């Protein structure tokens, strides 16, 4: 894409075509344009399907929205590393982003499940819940998730970082796929470990003030 853009600018400056003559780029560039058009349709569908699945699981639009946010932080990290490594947007890069979004949401879901378990344990104890109890439950759930989360991130990074310096057969395809995942995993990890518990606490404290805070099982039955 970058080469074609540069070449097109040079042709416009130096090539004077007679009336009735035109030119167009074909071959791999044409196939890439078609793939980008399909991805522009697929990506919104991917986000919509992810959001609906999250809503079905947690029965809450707010929690589903909170779990979509890791994709934004993942996108930020992916874009930064993609820029640093000099990769243009291509089909391979978009495939990497789609895989990254799935991983980011999955880790966020696991974090929220741990937070729900810790909070439900206190709700089911029968003792009236206070704001301090919500904070203690969230800290407990987040700490239990810290080690498996870091292990997951380390395994993903350890498996993909070597690809960025690979020069063998197929590396030209794998590098653009791996770059967004590596960058996005770092930023999404920070979001999931720090910001997701904060958003979760704000939601549950608001529900406590309204008197609508219930264990997750009760919400599912309702």
For each of the domains in the chain, give its residue range(s) and CATH number, in order of start: 40-221 (1.20.1640.10)
In 3-state terms the chain splits into helix, strand, coil percentages (rounded to 5) of 80, 0, 20
Residue 211 has pLDDT above 90, yes or no: no
Residue 222's pLDDT is 47
Q: How far apart are CA 190 and CA 208, in angstroms?
A: 27
Residue 214's pLDDT is 77
Tens digits of per-residue pLDDT, 1-45? 567 777 777 777 777 777 877 777 777 677 777 777 777 788 888
| This model's pTM is above 0.85 | no
Q: How far apart are CA 83 and CA 76, in angstroms?
A: 11
Exposed/middle/buried for residue 111 (C-beta within 10 Å: 0-12, 13-18, 19+): buried
User: Which ranges of 59-130 does DSSP label H, i.e. alpha helix?
Assistant: 61-85, 91-123
Q: How far apart are CA 6 and CA 2, in angstroms?
A: 6
């Amino acid at each position: 894409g970058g080469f074609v853009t540069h070449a097109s600018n040079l042709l416009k400056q130096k090539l004077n075509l007679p009336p009735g003559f035109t030119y167009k780029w074909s071959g791999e560039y044409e196939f890439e344009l078609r793939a980008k058009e399909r991805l522009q349709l697929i990506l919104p569908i991917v986000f919509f399907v992810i959001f609906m699945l999250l809503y079905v699981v947690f029965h809450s639009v707010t929690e589903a929205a909170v779990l979509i946010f890791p994709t934004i932080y993942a996108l930020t990290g992916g874009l930064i590393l993609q820029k640093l490594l000099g990769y243009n947007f291509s089909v391979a890069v978009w495939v990497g982003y789609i895989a990254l979004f799935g991983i980011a949401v999955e880790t966020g879901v696991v974090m929220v499940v741990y937070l729900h378990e810790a909070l439900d344990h206190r709700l089911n104890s029968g003792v009236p819940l206070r704001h301090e109890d919500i904070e203690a439950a969230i800290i407990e759930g987040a700490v239990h998730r810290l080690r498996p989360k870091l292990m997951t991130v380390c395994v993903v990074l350890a498996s993909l970082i070597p690809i960025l310096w690979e020069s063998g057969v197929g590396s030209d395809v794998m590098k653009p796929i791996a770059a967004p995942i590596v960058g996005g995993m770092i930023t999404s990890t920070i979001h999931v470990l720090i910001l997701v518990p904060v958003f979760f606490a704000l939601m549950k404290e608001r529900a406590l003030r309204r008197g609508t805070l219930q264990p997750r099982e009760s919400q599912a039955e309702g």
